[in-house]
Amino acid sequence: MKIAILSRNKNLYSTKRLIEAVEQRGHEALLLDHMKCVLVIEQGRPHIYYGGKEVTGVNAVIPRIGASATFYGSAVVRQFEMMKIFTAVESQALVRSRDKLRSLQILARAGLGMPKTAFCNQPKDIDNVIASIGGAPCVVKLLEGTQGIGVILAENQKAATSVIEAFLKLNASLLVQEFIKEAKGADIRVFIVDGQIVGAMKRQAKEGEFRSNLHRGGSASVIQLSADERATAIKSVKKLGLGIAGVDLLQSERGPLVMEVNSSPGLEGIEGATGVDIAGKIIEYVERNEFNIPGQ
């Protein structure tokens, strides 16, 4: 098989591991920077050019699309789908998961637990917005934020009001979310491939920090999931239609709460914490589904 990996940086751990896993299984890896792909939309023959040459012979695609490249990246994935090529993450699911508000609405409709969340557009009474999610302390998030960027813990009413006002003056879209104190700066990342949990780790924020992202100095350790945590993670991914995903859960007094579902989860932290060959699991998924074309 020729497996195309859509990634903007060949030096990223996740990209290198996927290439390694492809080649270890006797396949050919083709690295494509999705932002440099030229999409030719033609009746009956959609195709893609890269580096001045038409991309041919690809059997499957593994998208590694960053949040800032969602629009163009999802268009590239959609083009491969139009070319009747299997994509490990479907274009529609990618777009759906990147819209944090839409994702939360879908998960809430499915009856999944999550921190109480408010979305507002230039509210006249910010105090009521904060009160609607249980008051301060609360978490204020930019809709476009990733890896903990654009996520602020407002420890009191005055701080929360100031942060929201500042974001709104920048015309930023934001969420105001309940702070889960009992989580104690920790969350759980559950890695799911093809509907199956292949690894899970607990991430703990460093002292003085409430964001547990490993990019922000958090630590990771392997964890045994409860039955509720397993069921919540699997159902979340199923409802969003993702073939590969990282589900972030908070442990609360009322059970597991879904914080976010990531459609391009990194491999370094989860492989390091669990010792599991996650990249290999992804290639096995591709091998099983080579002829399973979205929409067919």
Q: Where are the alpha helices (DSSP H) in 110-263?
A: 126-132, 157-169, 227-240
263 touches 87 (CB < 8 A): no
The reported pTM is 0.90
- Where does residue 128 fall: left (phi above 0), alpha (psi -120 to 50 degrees), or beta otherwise? alpha
3-state SS assignment for residue 213 = coil
Q: What is the pLDDT along the chain (296 residues), one digit of tens a residue?
A: 999 999 999 999 999 999 999 999 999 999 999 999 999 999 989 999 999 999 999 999 999 999 889 999 999 999 999 999 999 999 999 999 998 889 999 999 999 999 999 987 776 788 999 999 999 999 998 876 555 577 888 999 999 999 998 888 888 788 899 999 998 889 999 999 999 999 999 998 776 555 555 555 567 899 999 999 999 999 999 999 999 999 999 999 999 999 999 999 999 999 999 999 999 999 999 999 877 665 54
3-state SS assignment for residue 248 = strand
Backbone phi, then psi, for 37, in 5-degree steps?
A: -80, 140
Strands 60-63 and 86-87: parallel
Place of tokens 């979340």: 236
- How far apart, in whole angstroms, are the C-alpha atoms of residue 270 and residue 245? 12
Domains of the chain: 2-96 (3.40.50.20), 117-179 (3.30.1490.20), 182-283 (3.30.470.20)
